[in-house]
Amino acid sequence: MTDPFYALLIREHIGTSVEVWVKSAQIRFKKPGRGKVFAQFLLTEEKLNEIKKHLSETQKTQTEFTIDIKDTDGHLIAEAQQMVSIKLKL
């Protein structure tokens, strides 16, 4: 449910000069999901600037994201962690 979104967002904002992939992911279930669930993906300008800075210094970086998965009442049902790897294409 959460795998591609941060990789796609980063590539959309930085461009095709980078390779982006989810290096690892983990999910912790808090309670059973009954019905529809949703997740919100937020990529801040601060996080983008941090990624760009690391890329300019080392040509690759990794960054971690936490994604809250909630039901339609706003109750947290799961939390996903992703380690995203970003590398300049040479």
pLDDT tens digits, one per residue of 25-80: 999 999 998 899 999 999 999 999 999 999 999 999 999 999 999 999 999 999 99
Q: Is the pLDDT of residue 90 over 90?
A: no
Answer with the residue of higher pLDDT: 1 or 28.
Answer: 28
Give the distance from CA 29 to its chain's centroid.
18
Structural domain count, the chain: 1
Confidence (pLDDT) at 41: 95
**What pTM value is reported for the model?**
0.87
Instruction: Identify residue 62 by its one-letter amino acid code.
Output: Q
Query: Closest by alpha carbon to 55, among 43, 47, 65, 66?
Result: 47
Mean pLDDT over residues 8-22, rounded? Answer: 94
Q: What CATH number is associated with residue 20?
A: 3.10.129.10
Domain of residue 13 covers: 5-88
Q: 10: which strand partners?
A: none
